[in-house]
Chains A and B, each alone.
Chain A
Amino acid sequence: MTMRPDDQQMTEAAPDGVGRRQFLKVLGVTGAGAATLSGCSTDRIAKLVPYMVQSEQQVPGVPTTYASTCAECSTGCGLHVTTREARAIKLEGNPAHPVNAGSLCSRGQAGLQALYHPDRIGAPMARNAAGGFDEITWDDAIARLAAQLGTANGRVAAINGYGPSTFSTLLDDMVGALGGRSVRWEAFGREAERTANFRTWGRYELPSHDFAAADYLVSFGADFLETWGATVQQQRGFAEAHGYGNGTMAKHVYVGPRMNLTAANADEWLDVPAGTEIWVALCLARAAAMHHGSPLAAQLAAYTPEAAAERTGIPAERLAHVAEEFAAASAPLAVAGGIAAQHRGAIDLCRATNLANIAAGSIGTTVRFGDGPAAGNDYGTVQELFQSMDRGEVAVILVHEANPLYALPKSGNFAATFAKVGFKVSTANVMDETAAACDLILPNLHALERWDDRAPRPGVLGLMQPVMEPVKPGMHTGDVLLAAARAVGGPLAGFTAQSFEAHLRSAWTAEASRRGAGDAEGFWRDALQRGGVYEPAAPAPAPALSAGAADLAPGDTSFDGDGEFLFLPYPTSQYHDGRGSNKPWLLENPDPVTKITWQSWVELHPETAKRVDVREGEIVEVTSPHGTVRAQVYVYPGIRPDTVGMPLGLGHTAYGRYAADRGVNALDLLGAADGQGFLPYVATRVSLTKTRDYRQVAKTEGTPRQLGRGIIEAMPLAHAAAGMTPKESMTAAGHPPHEVNTERELEAIDGWYEAQKERWNLGNYGADETPKWGMAVDLSRCTGCSACVTACYAENNIATVGEEQVFKGREMSWMRIERYWEGGEDGEPLEARFAPVMCQHCDNAPCEPVCPVYASYHTPDGLNGQVYNRCVGTRYCSNNCPFKVRYYNWLKYNESAWPEPLNLQLNPEVTVRARGVMEKCTFCVQRIRAAQHTARLEDRPLRDGDVVTACQQACPSKAIAFGNVKDPSAEVVRWKRDPRGYTMLEATNVMPAVTYLAKVRAVDPVAHGEAPAAGEAH
């Protein structure tokens, strides 16, 4: 059987056998499917290694899927892990899971690269006298840990970023039993919201927000499409509400100083200065209270649009209009508390937002208590822990799934404090900053290799199971702890479980009885199959307002330093708090908004750039009272001129080959001191100093303007509701599209097209039962989140090429999200438009006739085929492709992209392309063929939905439809019939198989009228 673990070469022979040995090691006891390594020529003999015992689950060549739970962030989405011959090759969302319902974000999918990360630590390590690390045995490691725990007499602590789970409870209990303190902490802990909720309702917890039900959305700095909350679920809901359907859609207004992905998807962006959002919130609250005659009205009377206008610089009539719309909406929803609003006024802002929701009657409808995400301790608790370290009250500390020495600002001297602890233990399986500062490293198993569970929120209990043998001989931290407990005895004598698996099982048995499930065994088997237990949590009644909930005294938010600019560090959807930045997929998948890869950057508004006299790529020095960083400028129209933005997540000093020494850490500019229980990210002013240095910005975008080429069409809601086509809409708006094709030409085209269709029906180009594959993309649902891009990389073995090659524009992303700016000039509000662009599989494909060897040709089922092994690499096809969706292997990317054991993630169903070969989107032809095989074996025709492309599968907003366009009942056909449908670059008459449904914007006359626009309202 052809198992291709190290499929590095396409036509040339395989490099060596290391891959196979590695592979066998991976499969270990399970027994290996046979691995072949030989290339084209059969004379190079490879071995067939049979299983000792054939496992029932595994049929060679047929993927096996396991349900599990994602561990990449605290949301805990459900996973479907696709394995081939017992190695995980793809992560997809679990359709049964209430949170992500089948889709998965980029970070979740990239978990695979954490599993196979080339820099995973292979054995426990102990610091030696020289200050370096020595590999030691697990017995030794456990003995050392036990010895320390035994003698620490109570001076034990743990920082645990894993969140609510059987493991965390076990850890807490153990540390507790030893008389120490265990702190659960994750960056972006949403502390401000919880405090605000406490002051509003007396409940220190987070509600859940029902985006799908909302018909009017206002976000105060909450980037709910990127890092704030359960992004996949929220995006799904957002697409439901904000996506156009039967003549209506929700309106989304974003309030904040920078246009992030969430703001880019808003219909209106109020770019208020950081710290003044509260005025808008109160203005909304007031309007809602008055509209609904809420008792709050009296207390809020003072917060008029005028007052808000004065503070925010947004014209009063515009604010009034938004306020009225919000008040009048039937299911409004206001959210606040993202990093963008994480300033010293954040708590009041969240309180004000609560008031707005209360006044608008959203509590219990779009804002629900009872099933909100569970959260850990707050930043204040972590600070206290470090203070006690400083006082020498901690002898042993265990850091699990957390990297405080990176995620906390340097100005807090946490590293120095940490160093004071006598014995520091980390369970990181990649050498991160914290691990590097520890005395003992006990590499934990990856989530796909271990037994584990997590309870991210009430009603969701996710289970994880080992889907394969460990890639590196790690050990489950739970087992380590239990083993240590046995060795320590004494206070830990109570922890008798022989293994963590046993402990987990007993915990689940308990859970089963708690839920009154008679058959614990069945309960467990069920959970294993479905990836956990999901039952809707009982909705808690709307909490009562606590006294003084409404008395707010908003003042000026204070900022450290007296620099010229407000400093706005923000987390990106790829790197999150920095844990994503060691995965090539996430580094090369451009930031959705700026399209920059592999780098840090400093965002300046064009005006600011002109004033400071810097151009894109010029390196500037950003100085705050707390520190200084240097990074290249990116001129960005989507940020206030008085604000400087920087992405978080890069600037690691360790954390593996991909992350170490890449970019700068914006946290270096922040202060750590804080009395409010959270880390105020937006709390410093900075000044800019020019340096004479320059570094090219590694962005994948050429020119950010459409130049009136109608690539991404959009139309106002009114037009869409009137059933207009994009062209009609443009005409109605007074810009009739330039008609390129005369009647005559059109006739000729149709004639040609008929002839083409006949050609398909000749001989092998079989008949009418041959499907013709087509795709439709609804741009009113697409948010540009780029999950599809990562999915494409994962499914199709696309090589990551690295910063240097991106400079030359040589990235290989078969599927890319194009982002164009509209407006933003002379009074026009800035508008962002996103569209996924993949091979359009044109019926009249320009790439096909020019290929001298038929490597590019049209398949009977309407695909634009690309035969890699026939391609000689003249690259004419790419020159002639109007969409520029063909990607070329300039160098041996197939050797550089997957250092061992990363190559084990390769999908055996897709050929790895050698250098000198053109490649491109194939509409996941391997999935099409697989579906056809299954259908044939079952003697049935293909059904609509049998073929799901990787991008379609991953898309959280379900913006992609794929299927057979000859099947009138197919969903894709229904989509294509939508009047909003159009094809890109129609003038070229290439007849794409991909139809785009124009974006719809709930724009209102005020924003487009005389009123000064977002861009210049100050």
Chain B
Amino acid sequence: MAVIAHDPSRPTQTHAEVTRDVLKTITDAPTRGYYVLVFGMAFLVLVLLGTVVAELKEGIGLAGYAPPIMWSVYITTFVFWVGIGHAGTLISAILFLFRSPWRTAVYRATEAMTVFAVMTAALFPILHIGREWLFYWLLPYPNQRYLWPNFKSPLMWDVFAISTYLTVSSTFLMVGLVPDLAAVRDNVSGWKKKLYTALSLGWTGADSQWRHYTRAYLYLAALATPLVLSVHSVVSWDFASSIVPGWHGTIFAPYFVAGAIYSGIGMVLTLMIPLRKVLKVEHMITDYHFDNLSKLTLLTGSILFYAYGMEYFVAWYSGSTFEQTTFWRRAFGPNWWAGWTMIICNAFVSQLLWFRKIRTNLTSLFVISIFINLGMWFERYVIVVSSLANDYLPYAWGQLNPTWADWCLLAGSFGWFGLWFTMFYKNFPIVAIQEIKEMIPMPRRKSAEGAH
């Protein structure tokens, strides 16, 4: 044991145990709590649908838009969800390429989170436009009008960024699942068996299959890696390439990427901490993993800290009265509360993670993760709303009061995301069986004896 204890990344149990424990999460009958969760989420999805129908009928104006604030809660939420995705890709792809052992236990969950987060985000660009039924005009398709979309528009880049991200990360997830699904297939019966048989693509575990599989996985990882940087950079250019004071900053791309990963890990923590308990996989997802996640959080959080500082510096240094006013009002204007929420939750709270005690105390971590999610939503709110609220022409300045339509769609997005995720972790191996197994040290007599 002592030997093993030295490397916390190595699981403590045998192959059989791993398979058993993970399969239990799927084969066990769902608890009442689980049903409550699912129906809760389903209800929120209905709220979402209701709001969308209402807005299709009456117009997007049901939300609290107040010119000049033409983008508000919806775009905020869009950026928030895109951001969430990034941690997943970082952990599953980049850390894989870096051969960082600790990712193994958590990457499947984060990978799933990524896909669902992007699926959620993808709703908003469609829902926030005024004539939702014409969203396909943003796609380049040949038509008798000889009309093409404007490839100069950042919104077009967005369309491509998001769709690419969705394709790649979902493929990555499904491919990664194949061996595990095979394992599940061999342990279930009835319609489930059919389902997993289909999804595991006739996996037998033959050497040739393993060879191809590992290659494919490697390439997909390599493919996904740049997306971690590109996607949110593009999203950031939605803002950075405009002339709105508080938007057009060269710092935006790295600033957004860091923020994205920061918020993503926040969400990972929020999800994993309760999940490992519910699924009884504490022995696989251990303090050690959270400790590492926290360090990543600390890193990105500190980058954000710097970015915030730099934004204000640049605003001052630019000598542009427009920039200066915008940032002054961010801190002391009518939206000061949002501004400070973002700075405190992101810049300051993350600094608590310097302390090992806090990093390893799951309760405190969970609380912090909530703050992170809150803070990152508000970061986007501040960037979108309080920049638009006061730009060039003082006569046109405005104030935003979000309405029920804003909040319902926000809540609905969480329901939509949550529904997918809850259904996923109950029906798919939330921990990567075969990768864990790979990490199990060859059984040694000594330790085996010790076990007796």
Are A and B physically bound partners?
A: yes
**Residues of chain A whose beta carbon lies under 8 Å from any beta carbon of chain B:** 701-709, 711, 738, 740, 805, 808-810, 816, 818-820, 837, 846, 849-854, 870-876, 878-880, 882-884, 887-892, 914-918, 985, 987-988
A408 shortest CB reach to chain B, Å: 38
Question: How far, in angstroms, from A884 to B62 measured CA to CA in the complex?
Answer: 21
A296 shortest CB reach to chain B, Å: 48
Q: Are A703 and B394 in contact (CB under 8 A)?
A: yes
Write out the residue numbers on chain A whose beta carbons fall within 8 Å of the beta carbon of B149.
Answer: 852-854
Question: How far, in angstroms, from A702 to B394 measured CA to CA in the complex?
Answer: 6
Q: Are A876 and B67 in contact (CB under 8 A)?
A: no
Please tell me if B70 contacts chain A, counting CB pairs below 8 Å. yes
Q: Are A916 and B150 in contact (CB under 8 A)?
A: no
Q: Are A852 and B138 in contact (CB under 8 A)?
A: yes
Q: Are B131 and A873 in contact (CB under 8 A)?
A: yes
15 pairs from A and B in contact (CB 8 Å cutoff) = A703-B397, A704-B395, A808-B401, A816-B395, A819-B395, A850-B242, A852-B138, A852-B156, A870-B137, A873-B60, A874-B129, A879-B388, A917-B130, A918-B130, A988-B243
Within B152-170, the residues touching A (CB, 8 Å) are 152-156, 159
Q: Are A702 and B397 in contact (CB under 8 A)?
A: yes
Write out the residue numbers on chain A whose beta carbons fall within 8 Å of the beta carbon of B241.
Answer: 850
Please tell me if B171 contacts chain A, counting CB pairs below 8 Å. no
CB contact between A879 and one of B129, B242, B401 (< 8 Å): that residue:
B242
Question: How far, in angstroms, from A704 to B394 measured CA to CA in the complex?
Answer: 7
Q: What 10 pairs between A and B have smallest CB-CB spacing? A: A873-B130, A890-B61, A916-B130, A702-B397, A884-B396, A875-B70, A703-B394, A882-B392, A916-B131, A891-B61
Write out the residue numbers on chain A whose beta carbons fall within 8 Å of the beta carbon of B242.
Answer: 846, 850, 876, 879-880
Write out the residue numbers on chain A whose beta carbons fall within 8 Å of the beta carbon of B137.
Answer: 852-853, 870, 872
Q: Determine which residue in B131, B325, B390 has the highest number of CB atoms from chain A within 10 A of its CB, and name it.
A: B131
Q: Are A987 and B320 in contact (CB under 8 A)?
A: yes
16 further interface pairs, Cβ-Cβ under 8 Å (given A701-B395, A709-B394, A915-B130): A703-B395, A808-B66, A810-B65, A818-B395, A849-B153, A853-B137, A854-B148, A870-B147, A876-B155, A879-B70, A883-B392, A888-B70, A891-B62, A916-B60, A985-B393, A988-B243
Q: Are A872 and B394 in contact (CB under 8 A)?
A: no
Please tell me if B58 contacts chain A, counting CB pairs below 8 Å. yes
Please tell me if B379 contacts chain A, counting CB pairs below 8 Å. no
Considering the complex, give the chain A residue whose CB is closest to the CB of B145.
A870
Q: Are A878 and B67 in contact (CB under 8 A)?
A: yes
Write out the residue numbers on chain A whose beta carbons fall within 8 Å of the beta carbon of B322.
Answer: 709, 987
Q: Are B319 and A738 in contact (CB under 8 A)?
A: yes
Please tell me if B16 contacts chain A, counting CB pairs below 8 Å. no
Q: Are B321 and A709 in contact (CB under 8 A)?
A: yes
Considering the complex, give the chain A residue whose CB is closest to the CB of B136.
A872
Within B102-128, the residues touching A (CB, 8 Å) are 128
Considering the complex, give the chain B residue whose CB is closest to the CB of A878.
B70
Question: How far, in angstroms, from A702 to B334 measured CA to CA in the complex?
Answer: 13
Q: Are A709 and B67 in contact (CB under 8 A)?
A: no
Question: How far, in angstroms, from A852 to B153 measured CA to CA in the complex?
Answer: 5
Please tell me if B83 contacts chain A, counting CB pairs below 8 Å. no
Q: Are B150 and A810 in contact (CB under 8 A)?
A: no
Q: Are B135 and A872 in contact (CB under 8 A)?
A: yes
Q: Are B392 and A849 in contact (CB under 8 A)?
A: no
Question: How far, in angstroms, from A271 to B93 measured CA to CA in the complex?
Answer: 74
Question: How far, in angstroms, from A915 to B319 measured CA to CA in the complex?
Answer: 40
B157 shortest CB reach to chain A, Å: 9
B235 shortest CB reach to chain A, Å: 13
Q: Are B130 and A706 in contact (CB under 8 A)?
A: no
CB contact between B67 and one of A740, A810, A883 (< 8 Å): that residue:
A810
Question: How far, in angstroms, from A870 to B319 measured CA to CA in the complex?
Answer: 39
**Residues of chain B whose beta carbon lies under 8 Å from any beta carbon of chain A:** 58-62, 64-68, 70-71, 128-131, 134-135, 137-138, 147-150, 152-156, 159, 241-244, 319-322, 325, 388, 390-398, 401
Question: How far, in angstroms, from A738 to B244 measured CA to CA in the complex?
Answer: 19
Q: Are A853 and B138 in contact (CB under 8 A)?
A: yes
B387 shortest CB reach to chain A, Å: 9
Q: Are A854 and B68 in contact (CB under 8 A)?
A: no
Question: How far, in angstroms, from A880 to B71 measured CA to CA in the complex?
Answer: 11
A727 shortest CB reach to chain B, Å: 16
Question: How far, in angstroms, from A415 to B94 measured CA to CA in the complex?
Answer: 84
Q: Are A872 and B131 in contact (CB under 8 A)?
A: yes
CB contact between A890 and one of B60, B68, B243, B321 (< 8 Å): that residue:
B60
Question: How far, in angstroms, from A805 to B68 measured CA to CA in the complex?
Answer: 13
B154 shortest CB reach to chain A, Å: 7
Q: Are A872 and B134 in contact (CB under 8 A)?
A: yes
Write out the residue numbers on chain B whose beta carbons fall within 8 Å of the beta carbon of A880.
Answer: 242-244
Considering the complex, give the chain B residue whose CB is closest to the CB of A892.
B59
Write out the residue numbers on chain B whose beta carbons fall within 8 Å of the beta carbon of A852.
Answer: 137-138, 149-150, 153, 155-156, 159
Q: Are A884 and B131 in contact (CB under 8 A)?
A: no
Write out the residue numbers on chain B whose beta carbons fall within 8 Å of the beta carbon of A914.
Answer: 131
Considering the complex, give the chain B residue whose CB is closest to the CB of A835.
B395
Q: Determine which residue in A702, A849, A870, A891 has the highest number of CB atoms from chain B within 10 A of its CB, and name it.
A: A702
Write out the residue numbers on chain A whose beta carbons fall within 8 Å of the beta carbon of B135.
Answer: 872
Q: Are B392 and A985 in contact (CB under 8 A)?
A: yes
A947 shortest CB reach to chain B, Å: 27
Q: Determine which residue in B60, B128, B153, B156 has the highest number of CB atoms from chain A within 10 A of its CB, and name it.
A: B153
Q: Determine which residue in A703, A711, A853, A883 has the highest number of CB atoms from chain B within 10 A of its CB, and name it.
A: A853
A920 shortest CB reach to chain B, Å: 12
Write out the residue numbers on chain A whose beta carbons fall within 8 Å of the beta carbon of B153.
Answer: 849-852, 876
Write out the residue numbers on chain B whose beta carbons fall within 8 Å of the beta carbon of A738.
Answer: 319, 321
Assess A849 versus B393: contact at CB under 8 Å? Given A809-B67, A878-B70, A892-B58: no
Question: How far, in angstroms, from A879 to B244 measured CA to CA in the complex?
Answer: 7
Write out the residue numbers on chain A whose beta carbons fall within 8 Å of the beta carbon of B59.
Answer: 889-892, 915-916
Question: How far, in angstroms, from A703 to B334 measured CA to CA in the complex?
Answer: 13
Question: How far, in angstroms, from A125 to B78 measured CA to CA in the complex?
Answer: 59
B25 shortest CB reach to chain A, Å: 43
Write out the residue numbers on chain B whose beta carbons fall within 8 Å of the beta carbon of A884.
Answer: 67-68, 391-393, 396
Q: Are A810 and B66 in contact (CB under 8 A)?
A: yes
Assess A874 versus B68: contact at CB under 8 Å? Given A703-B395, A852-B138: no
A702 shortest CB reach to chain B, Å: 3
Question: How far, in angstroms, from A30 to B397 measured CA to CA in the complex?
Answer: 50
Write out the residue numbers on chain A whose beta carbons fall within 8 Å of the beta carbon of B134.
Answer: 872
Question: How far, in angstroms, from A724 to B396 measured CA to CA in the complex?
Answer: 30
Q: Are B65 and A707 in contact (CB under 8 A)?
A: no
A693 shortest CB reach to chain B, Å: 19
B80 shortest CB reach to chain A, Å: 18
Q: Are B392 and A709 in contact (CB under 8 A)?
A: yes
Q: Are A705 and B130 in contact (CB under 8 A)?
A: no
CB contact between B129 and one of A870, A872, A987 (< 8 Å): that residue:
A872
Question: How far, in angstroms, from A57 to B68 measured CA to CA in the complex?
Answer: 46
Considering the complex, give the chain A residue whose CB is closest to the CB of B247.
A879
Write out the residue numbers on chain B whose beta carbons fall within 8 Å of the beta carbon of A706.
Answer: 394
Question: How far, in angstroms, from A417 to B434 measured CA to CA in the complex?
Answer: 98
A744 shortest CB reach to chain B, Å: 16
